[in-house]
Structure 1
Amino acid sequence: MEKLFKGIMKFRRDEFVSHRELFCTLGREQNPHTLFIGCSDSRVVPNLITRTRPGELFMVRNVANIVPPYRQTEEFVATTSAIEYAVKVLEVESIVVCGHSNCGGCAALHKNGEELADLPHVRKWLEVSREVPARVARLAVEKTPAEREWLTERVNVLVQMKNLLSYPFIAERVRQGTLEILGWHYIIETGEIYNFNDQLGVFELIDQAESD
């Protein structure tokens, strides 16, 4: 707790003061351009890896960056409601689904029910991505464990991108050209981010040439 309190004091003393005008502007409204759907993993820091400032990203974070398919329900649905708010109220221009290397949630997709017996809610949550292991099995012939891990994380991103299009208000905006969906794979140990090229069907490294 002491570490957190010291961090708060340092924030107010340094970062807040240097960005006071920005925070005053954000005090009563937000206008993010992107909905960032990422994993809850502590090693994934969206603002850091995208070099964005407060107010630019509306974030949803959960185990394995999962997007449940659209459905009408009376249940408590945190991820679905956040997506609904970002698109229909904030009118974001982009949605990013960002997976990452060494994802524990994606690794758990290959485990059986007994191995996840002590994590019943995680096990239930991962059912949204139940098609991933089968797709990986078809594609992972003669692949190393490391390649299989990356493949799982990338296929999982593709499944969530597909699930986003099951939301009528998202599909409509994509058809109109007012909303784009991006799929990323972030490699923690190198800082590299691969973007899914929908036309070629491959993940491509976002490099310096593309960002200039």
Structure 2
Amino acid sequence: MQKLIEGIMKFRREDFEAHQELFKGLEKGQNPHTLFICCSDSRVDPNMITKTLPGELFIIRNIANIVPPYRETKEYVATTSAIEYAVLMLGVENIIVCGHSNCGGCAACINPSEELNELPHTKKWLELIHPVRDYIIREFKGEELEAKGWMMEQFNVVEQLKHLMTFPYIKEKVRKNELMLSGWHYIIETGEIYIYNKEDGEFHPGNK
């Protein structure tokens, strides 16, 4: 806790002072240009890897950067409601789904552990990417576990882009070229980001 307290003091003394005008403008409201959907993993910092300032990204974080397919419901739906708010209220121009290397959620699907039995809500959440897991296991039987994990992370990003297109208002905005979707795979240990190309179905280096 002491480290966090020292951090907020340093923020107020250094970062806030350097961006006073920015924060003063943000008092009136937010106008982010991008909805950034990523994993809750503590090693992933959206603002750091995109070099963006407060007010630029509307961020959704959850285990394994999952987007549940659209459905009408009266349940409490955090990810779905945040997407709705970002697109319909804030009018973001871009949606990025960002997966990452060594993703614990993806690994838990490829190499299931009894530990998930102690995490019933996590286990249930990860059921949403079982179709991706089943495809990887079926189509890449001979691959090493590490390679399967890498493919699981990338195929998962593509699957979530498909899920976004089940949202009627997203599909309509994409059709009108009012909204752009992009899928990223961030490699923690190298700092590389691979971007999905829909034309050839491959991920290509985006920051070399």
The interval holding the TM-score normalised by the smaller chain is over 0.9
Once the two structures are overlaid, the 10-residue window that deviates more, 51-60 or 137-146, is: 137-146
Q: Given the alignment of the two structures, is residue 130 of structure 1 paired with residue 133 of structure 2, yes or no?
A: no
Q: Percent identity?
A: 57
RMSD: 1.2
* TM-score normalised over the length of structure 2: 0.97
Task: Give runs of aligned pairs for residues 9-88 of structure 1, distance below 5 A.
Answer: 9-88=9-88
Matched length: 208
1:139 Cα shift? 3.4
Contact 1:103 1:153 in 2 (8 A): yes
Equivalent position of 2:176 in the other structure? 176
CA distance in 2, matches of 1:114, 1:146: 20
CA distance in 2, matches of 1:15, 1:207: 26
1:109 Cα shift? 1.3
* TM-score normalised over the length of structure 1: 0.95
Name the amino acid aligned to 1:82.
A
Contact 1:113 1:123 in 2 (8 A): no
CA distance in 1, matches of 2:59, 2:12: 23
Equivalent position of 2:160 in the other structure? 160
Q: Unaligned stretches of 5+ in structure 2?
A: none
Deviation above 3 Å: which 4+ runs of structure 1? 111-115
Name the amino acid aligned to 1:178.
E
CA distance in 1, matches of 2:98, 2:207: 17
Name the amino acid aligned to 1:156.
N
1:141 Cα shift? 3.7
CA distance in 2, matches of 1:39, 1:7: 23
1:112 Cα shift? 4.7
CA distance in 2, matches of 1:190, 1:53: 23
Q: Unaligned stretches of 5+ in structure 1?
A: none
Equivalent position of 2:120 in the other structure? 120
Name the amino acid aligned to 2:2.
E
Name the amino acid aligned to 1:106.
C
1:172 Cα shift? 0.4
CA distance in 1, matches of 2:160, 2:154: 10
Contact 1:36 1:60 in 2 (8 A): yes
Name the amino acid aligned to 1:87.
V
1:115 Cα shift? 4.6
CA distance in 1, matches of 2:84, 2:182: 17
SS in 2 for 1:127: helix
CA distance in 1, matches of 2:207, 2:4: 35
* CA distance 1:122–1:51, shift in 2 (3 Å): same
